[in-house]
Amino acid sequence: MDDRRKNYRAWDAQECCQTRVSPREVLPEDDLVFFLLDIVPQIDLSAFHAYYADERRGQPPFDVTMMVTLLVYGYCVGVRSSRKIAAACQRNLAFRAIVGDRPPDFRTISDFRKIHLAAFEKLFVEVLRLAGELGMVKLGNLSTDGTKMGANASRHKAMSYGYMGKEIARLQAEIKELLEQAEQMDAEEDAALGSRRGDELPDELKRREQRLAKIEEAKARLEAEAAARAAEEQRRRDADQAQREAEGRKRRGKEPAPIDPTPETKAQTNFTDPEAKIMKQSNKGFDYSFNAQAVVDAEAQIIVAAHVTTQANDKQQAVPMAQAALANVEAAGIEKPKDANGESKPIPNTADSGYFSEKAVAELEKMGVDPHMATGRQKHHEASLPAEAAEPTEPTAAAKVKEKMQEKLRSAAGKVLYAARKHIIEPVFGQIKGVRGIRKFLLRGLEKVSGEWNLICLTHNLLKIWRRSISVGIG
């Protein structure tokens, strides 16, 4: 029998586990972590430092620049949980390159993110400023779109408005029964043992009273939301009626049904994150989510504005997103495009049909934005934007705006601009969700979720800058 075997390279387990490893010697020279260690200290972090300006108590906190770099790197590589970041600081060489031998614990990381959520909005602008200085933002085509991001809320911790009424009645009956039992027990014990303190409550009664209070609070929240929607619908109807009277037109068709200010029976709210809403997911039914909005520049897919809304529909987001984009561009010191005479040109803005409305178009044009919005959905392989048959009657103001927009998108320049929308903004959401694996928020509540979305988007921009630095050799 041949006892020969393959020779292996020498390995000593004890020697290897005691070898000290330097991140600079092992990781590639152009690794993302070294890029961030070089670039973050150059960014204005005064918004973070301001929190500690007047605080003199306790032990010195961890270095702000180190904590910002740690969170930014974690989000860049898709590690967002404070516990996972803390574990990576112990085991991952790139994380060790940031924190060294004194890593923060998970609670410190979590608290830092929670405290400085508003500061990340300013950091977003500072990163945008850096991208502008590198020529990565040209404002030749700003594309607006939204994506549904899952909320940190379980569908099993929710209740419909119709079921709330039944549950409240059941709990009230059980509480009444428990109180009667408690009174009877008190009377029996007083007769046998004398007086008691009288302020004790049975555990079963406490649990039911707490649950009843939560359900009543949720029920009131749904009723307030329904009343607000009813008021908005009434304002819309009044505005439509006023416009018809001004144009001398009559209402077509039947009178609309009266507005009901009460919630629908199936209307739901969630107990873990009450601000999350049920929204339709791509090929996954419905789930509790937020609508994450972004405006992306065509030059290098840099996000110039980020916002989160609880409205599933995008109709009301065109104007505020454009306003946010213009404000961020100005704050970042990025020059707007100019014509041959040196005058500022309108900035093209492309968006799908979900953003189109007569009001949005008018508002965008007033702001110096040139909107290019689809006016309706197209079927697959359908000829793009066919001309509509002429109506025998005088078109309304809304119809005129729609027709004008269709003509703009049928023009040669309009076709080029709108066709570019898909490869400007849709890959951005794919890179965030598919590549980095960020499909849902970790934080809860609209304000905190908005701060986390800013952090997600600014790290997207930093990744773009890093890849550009590798390709062109930015030092």
DSSP state of 394: P
For 281, phi and psi rounded to 5 degrees?
-100, 155
pLDDT of residue 54: 77
Which helix (H) or strand (E) is 413 found in, with range?
helix 412-419
The residues facing 278 across adjacent strands are 288
E strand map for 151-285: 158-160, 268-270, 277-280
**Phi (first) and psi of residue 455, to 5 degrees:** -65, -40
C-beta contacts of 85-93 below 8 A and 24+ residues apart: 85/109, 93/21, 93/23, 93/26, 93/27
Q: What whole-number distance in Å separates Cα of residue 319 and Cα of residue 363?
A: 7
In our burial notation (b when 16+ CB lie closer than 10 A, e otherwise), range 354-365 reads bbbbeebbebbe
**383 in helix, strand or coil?**
coil
Ordered by start, the domain boundaries in the chain are 17-115, 137-153+277-453, 156-245+260-270
Q: How far apart are CA 246 and CA 344, in angstroms?
A: 36
* CA dihedral of 265, 271, 275, 280, whole degrees rounded to 10: -60
Q: Phi and psi (nearest 5°) for 278?
A: -70, 125
Pairing verdict, β 347-351 and 142-150: parallel
pLDDT per residue as tens, the chain (475 positions): 566 778 888 888 888 787 788 888 899 999 999 999 999 999 999 999 999 887 777 778 899 999 999 999 999 999 999 999 999 999 999 999 999 989 999 999 999 999 999 999 999 999 999 999 999 999 999 999 999 999 988 777 776 667 667 767 776 776 777 777 777 766 666 655 555 554 455 676 677 777 777 777 777 777 777 787 788 778 878 888 787 778 778 877 777 888 877 777 777 777 778 888 888 877 667 888 999 999 999 999 999 999 999 998 898 999 999 999 999 999 999 998 888 787 888 999 999 989 998 899 999 999 999 999 998 765 544 444 444 444 445 566 777 888 899 999 999 999 999 999 989 999 999 999 999 999 999 999 999 999 999 999 999 999 999 999 887 765 4
Q: Give the pLDDT confidence score for residue 3 in this predicted structure.
A: 65
Nearest partner of 144 among 298, 323, 293, 366, judged by Cα: 293
| H/E run at residue 33 | helix 32-39
Which of 206, 212, 218, 210 is CA-nearest to residue 271?
A: 218
- Please list, in sequence order, all residues whose beta carbon lies within 8 angstroms of the beta carbon of residue 257, skipping any fewer than 6 positions away: none
pLDDT for res 385: 47
Residues belonging to the chain: 475
